[in-house]
Amino acid sequence: MWRAGRASQGRVWGSAAATCAQSAQMGVICSTNAARLAYGLNKARRRVLARRPVQPGGAVYCGRTRERLVALTFDDGPSGFNTESIVRLLGAHGARATFFVVGREAESHTDVLRRTVEAGHELGNHTFNHRPTAKLTSRDVIDELRRTSEAIEKATGMETQLARPPWGNGSRDFAEAGRVLGLTTVLWSLDSGDALGFSAPDVARHVVAGTCSGHIVLLHDGSFKRDTTLAALETIITGLDGYRFVTVSELLAAQSF
């Protein structure tokens, strides 16, 4: 049973596993229901959206595939505390992931960023200052994204194709701004809860129970020491035996319906 810190979270997190099973029963392998339930959409609307990985706001929530693929994503790094431990753990299991990096952190930890790319992981743009983009003009959002893409390219030589707004907020306007720079906005279909004060075993149980093919899972490697994330990650990877852990771009390239 998923233990929630707040009543409203309990409904959201508790629903994820059931939603996944229902989706599989309906033949809808890719489910964005976990994300949609969080926004309180009604059943009919959920059913319509269940068949659309790209939402009306232009953000991608998950991949539509029948292959057992899952994309782990890590936000807010690169971090001198966590990123390399996470990269090592992923590498030990042959798992790849996508790191949505904050531009100012990318400028401070260029070595970490370069080693993350060398280990086969993908980088996404998570804005330069991690400010609430809904409060910014579209020009400022574009500037935040441009500076971050430039920092990533300078450190790694890689051009990023993906972006994610801080806290996942304001995705419609954010997606518009991202499109100006050729960036696809990516949210998630399963929030691990690692940034919400849950224990590592609870986070791991929640992700293992809630994951199905095509899911994009939200985790964090930035801001402060992420012992919970690191401890949960090993259990998540071993618990999802039979799944292949791919980058978001690989997941989207594998869309089969």
Tokens linked to 206: 């929640």
Answer yes or no: are the C-beta atoms of 2 and 205 closer than 8 Å: yes
Backbone angles phi, psi at 211, to 5 degrees: -85, 140
Give the residue with the Cβ less far from Zn ion, 75 or 84. 75
Q: Which residue has the tokens 């920092």?
A: 151
Q: C-beta of 177: minimal distance to Zn ion in Å?
A: 16
Among 2, 60, 75, 187, binds Zn ion (CB under 5 A): 75
Residue 163 and residue 184 in contact, taking contact as beta carbons nearer than 8 Å: yes
**Coil/strand/helix, residue 100:** strand
78 binds Zn ion (CB under 5 A): no
Which residue from 78, 166, 178, 210 is in contact with Zn ion, where contact means CB under 5 A? 166
Instruction: Give the nearest distance from C-beta 144 to Zn ion in angstroms.
Output: 12
From the list 109, 126, 206, 220, the catalytic residue is 220
Among 71, 74, 76, 207, binds Zn ion (CB under 5 A): 76
Is 220 one of the catalytic residues? Answer: yes
Q: How many residues bind Zn ion (CB under 5 A)?
A: 3
The residue annotated as part of the active site, out of 75, 76, 173, 194, is 75
Instruction: Give how far Cα 215 sits from Cα of 27, 112, 115, Å.
Output: 15, 26, 26
In the complex, minimum distance from the CB of residue 57 to Zn ion, in angstroms, rounded to a whole number: 18
CA 196 – CA 8 distance, rounded (Å): 13
**Is residue 221 within the footprint of Zn ion (CB under 5 A)?**
no
- The CA angle 11-14-17, to the nearest 5 degrees, is 140
170 binds Zn ion (CB under 5 A): no
> Residue type at 179?
R
- For 128, residues 6+ apart whose C-beta sits below 8 A from its C-beta are 102, 103, 104, 143, 144, 145, 147, 148, 151
Write down the least CB distance from residue 126 to Zn ion, Å: 6
* Residue listed under structure tokens 């629903």: 15
Query: Quick one: which segment of 42-50, 68-76, 78-86, 181-189 binds Zn ion (CB under 5 A)?
Result: 68-76
> How far is the C-alpha of 95 from the C-alpha of 240, rounded, in Å?
11
Residue 30 or 190 having the CB closest to Zn ion: 190
Query: Using CB atoms, what's the residue nearest to Zn ion?
Result: 75
Catalytic residue list contains 93 = no
Nearer to Zn ion, 49 or 173 (CB): 173
- Interaction of residue 144 with Zn ion, rule CB under 5 A: no
Question: Active-site residues: which are they?
Answer: 75, 220
Binding site for Zn ion (CB under 5 A): 75-76, 166
